[in-house]
Amino acid sequence: MTGYGDAEGQLNGVTYTVEIRAVNNRYFKTRIKLPETVAFLEEDIEKLLRRNLSRGTVSYVLRLKNVSANVLFDIDETALQAYMEKLSRIASSVDIKCPIDVGGLLNVPGILVPVSPDEEKAEQIKRKVLSVTQEAIEKLKQMRAAEGAVLAADLDSHCEAIRRNLEQIRARSVSVLEECHRKLRKRVNGLLAEAKLKLDEEALAREVAIFADRSDISEEIARLDSHLQQFAESCQVNEQAGRRLDFINQEMFREANTIASKASDTEIARCVVDIKCRIDRIKEQVQNIE
pLDDT band at 206 (very low <50, low <70, confident <90, very high): low
Alpha-carbon torsion angle 204, 209, 210, 214, nearest 10? 140
Phi first, then psi, for residue 30 (nearest 5°) are -125, 145
Q: Where are the domains of the chain?
A: 77-105
Q: Considering the chain, what is the average pLDDT of its residues?
A: 80
Give one word for 13, left, alpha or beta, with left for phi > 0 and alpha for psi -120 to 50: left
**262, 255 Cβ separation under 8 angstroms:** no
Model pTM score: 0.60
Q: Give me the mean pLDDT over the 234-250 stretch.
A: 80
User: Residue 69 pLDDT more than 50?
Assistant: no
User: Residue 204 pLDDT more than 60?
Assistant: no
